[in-house]
Amino acid sequence: MMPMNHDLERLQRSGIRVFTNLARQTAGCRMLTIGEPDLDTPKEIREAAARAMEAGQTHYAPNQGTESLRRAIAAFETRRGRRTEAGEVLVTVGATQALNTALTGILNPGDEVIIPTPAFSLYDSIVTAAGAKSVFLDVSKTGFQITKEALDACLTERTRAIVLNSPNNPTGVVLKKSSLETVAEAVRQRDIYLICDNVYGALSYVNCPDLTLEEDLRDKTILCQSFSKPYAMTGWRVGYLAAPEGLISRLLLLSAAQIAAVPTFIQTAAETALTLDVTPMRELYRGRRDYVTGRLRDMGLSFPEPEGAFYVFPSIEKFGIPSWEFCTRMIREAGLAAVPGVCFGTEGYIRLSYCYADQELREGLDRLEEFVKRV
C-alpha cells in the first residue's frame, strides 16, 4: 500500500458498529446497540422537503447554510437563552461534521483535548486524525461528575479544548452545576476552547444546566448540534455549529472544503423541524427509560441514573468478565447485542439503547435476565 497519513493507523473501528454488525450476522439476535430513534421522521418535515424539491430547491446551497435556516437556528438558540445571530451559525452534515470541523479547525499537532469518559468514541477519533492527543478524564469513580481535582490533573500547557456531552452518551447522565462550574473556571483562566456536544439536550428528563448559555464564555464556546435525535432525522444528515462570527468565518473555510454544503431542500425541512414540539418523543423515551431501569434493578444490576438521551450504562463488574468478552458471549449465548463499556473508554460496563420498540425491549431484557443468571 502507498504511504498514507500515519495518524490513521491509530484509528479504531467503532465498537458500536462492530457489535451491531456481529448481531446482524447472528440469526435471531436482538439488538440494543444503536442510538437511533425507532420513529419515522415527522410528516410535517417530510412534506416540507417534498414541497421544497417540487419548488426546485435542488441546486447548490451557500457554504455556510441558507440564510433562512441560519436565521431560524439563531432565533431557536436565542429563545432557549443563547443569544445568537445568523452569522454565528454554520450548517453542517449532522453533528459528526460539526464536531469534526470544530476540533480539526482549532487543533494543531501535539495539542491536547480533555475528554471526560465514558464518552462517544468519535471525539478521540477526530482528535487522533488531527495529530493531537486525547486526555481522558475518568468520571466513573466520581459519580459520573467532573471534580476539580480530576480536571486539574488533566490540564497542561498543551490543553487546547475540553469536550462536554450532557446528557451523556453512553450513560444518560446530566452534568450537575458543580461539574459545569469546575469546567467553566478552568476555561475562564486559560486560552482553551469549550466544545459542547448538545445533541441530546432536547431529550433531557430533568433541568439540564448548559454552559453554552454563559455569556462570559461565548468567545471560547463552540456549540455542536444535530437534528437527528430530537426530530428522528438521522438519515437526513443535518446539524450546525454556533460560535462567535469570527471563528465561524474561519471554520467555514474548512467546512466548504470538506462538504461544500448541506442540500438545499434538507435545510428547508430542518426549518420546519425547529417549529415542532419534541415533548411527545421525550416522554416516550422517559417511559421506556423507566421500564428498562426497573427491569435492570430487578436483575440486581446497578447503573448511573439516566436523566436524558436514550441509553443506560449498567455495571457488569461483579461478573468479573471484560465487557468485550461479556458482549460477545451475550450475542452467542443469549442472542442479545449491547455495546461494551470499553468502547467508551470505561471498562466494567455495557451500554444498552432503549430507542427500540416496546416488544423489542421486552424480548431483549428477557434475554439479558436469563444471561446474567447463567454467566
Domain boundary among 273, 292, 317: 273
HSE of 346 in the Cβ direction (CA atoms, 13 Å)? Answer: 27
DSSP 220-241: GEEEEEESTTTTT-TTT--EEE
HSE of 289 in the Cβ direction (CA atoms, 13 Å)? Answer: 24
C-alpha cell at 265: 431542500
Q: How far apart are CA 148 and CA 173, in angstroms?
A: 18
For residue range 351-361, list pLDDT tens digits in order.
Answer: 999 999 999 99
Instruction: Looking at the structure, tell me whether residues 131 and 10 fall in a common domain.
Output: no
Domain boundary among 250, 273, 296: 273
**pLDDT confidence of residue 323:** 98
HSE of 19 in the Cβ direction (CA atoms, 13 Å)? Answer: 31
For residue range 230-259, list pLDDT tens digits in order.
Answer: 999 999 999 999 999 999 999 999 999 989
Instruction: Looking at the structure, tell me whether residues 128 and 106 fall in a common domain.
Output: yes
Cα–Cα nearest to 247, from 201, 196, 193, 199: 193
Instruction: Looking at the structure, tell me whether residues 156 and 21 fall in a common domain.
Output: no
Instruction: Looking at the structure, tell me whether residues 258 and 282 fall in a common domain.
Output: no
**pLDDT confidence of residue 105:** 97
pLDDT reading at 1 higher than 80: no
Instruction: Looking at the structure, tell me whether residues 297 and 315 fall in a common domain.
Output: yes
**pLDDT confidence of residue 8:** 76
Instruction: Looking at the structure, tell me whether residues 267 and 311 fall in a common domain.
Output: no
* pLDDT band of 78, cuts 50, 70, 90: very high
Contact 128, 84 (CB under 8 A): no
The dihedrals phi and psi of 133, each to the nearest 5 degrees, come to -125, 130
User: Mean pLDDT across the stretch 145-170?
Assistant: 98
**Block residue for cell numbers 443569544:** 83
* pLDDT band of 11, cuts 50, 70, 90: confident
pLDDT reading at 321 higher than 80: yes
Tell me whether the omega of the peptide bond preceding residue 167 falls within 30 degrees of 0, making it cis. Answer: yes
Instruction: Looking at the structure, tell me whether residues 192 and 340 fall in a common domain.
Output: no
**pLDDT confidence of residue 51:** 98
Q: Is residue 176 part of a domain?
A: yes
Instruction: Looking at the structure, tell me whether residues 207 and 289 fall in a common domain.
Output: no
**149 to 87, 117, 134: CA distances (angstroms):** 38, 15, 18
Mean pLDDT of the chain: 96
Contact 32, 20 (CB under 8 A): no
**pLDDT confidence of residue 188:** 97
Edge-first strand order for the sheet with 339-340 is 311-312, 350-353, 339-340
**232 to 35, 111, 204: CA distances (angstroms):** 11, 35, 16
pLDDT reading at 302 higher than 90: yes
Q: Is residue 49 part of a domain?
A: no
For residue range 195-215, list pLDDT tens digits in order.
Answer: 999 999 999 999 999 999 999
**pLDDT confidence of residue 264:** 98
HSE of 245 in the Cβ direction (CA atoms, 13 Å)? Answer: 7
**pLDDT confidence of residue 4:** 80
Range of the domain at 25: 6-41+278-374
For residue range 119-133, list pLDDT tens digits in order.
Answer: 999 999 999 999 999
Q: Is residue 48 part of a domain?
A: no
Q: Is residue 260 part of a domain?
A: yes
Domain boundary among 258, 273, 288: 273
The pairing of beta strand 133-138 with beta strand 112-117: parallel
pLDDT reading at 227 higher than 90: yes
**pLDDT confidence of residue 346:** 98
Instruction: Looking at the structure, tell me whether residues 175 and 283 fall in a common domain.
Output: no
Residue 329 φ/ψ region, left for φ over 0, alpha for ψ in the -120 to 50 degree band, beta for the rest: alpha
Q: Is residue 358 part of a domain?
A: yes
Q: Kindly state the greatest CA–CA separation across the chain.
A: 60
Cα first-last separation, the chain: 44
Contact 181, 214 (CB under 8 A): no
Contact 324, 351 (CB under 8 A): no
Instruction: Looking at the structure, tell me whether residues 263 and 302 fall in a common domain.
Output: no
CATH code: domain of residue 260: 3.40.640.10
Q: Is residue 47 part of a domain?
A: no
* pLDDT band of 158, cuts 50, 70, 90: very high
Instruction: Looking at the structure, tell me whether residues 220 and 290 fall in a common domain.
Output: no
**pLDDT confidence of residue 10:** 78
CATH code: domain of residue 350: 3.90.1150.10
- Report the domain count for the chain: 2
User: Mean pLDDT across the stretch 38-42?
Assistant: 96
pTM of this structure:
0.95
Tell me whether the omega of the peptide bond preceding residue 209 falls within 30 degrees of 0, making it cis. Answer: no
**75 to 79, 163, 213, 228, 270: CA distances (angstroms):** 6, 25, 14, 19, 13
Instruction: Looking at the structure, tell me whether residues 249 and 282 fall in a common domain.
Output: no
Q: Partners of 226 in the beta sheet?
A: 239
Q: Is residue 46 part of a domain?
A: no
pLDDT reading at 167 higher than 80: yes
Q: How far apart are CA 175 and CA 208, in angstroms?
A: 8
Q: Is residue 52 part of a domain?
A: no
**pLDDT confidence of residue 15:** 84
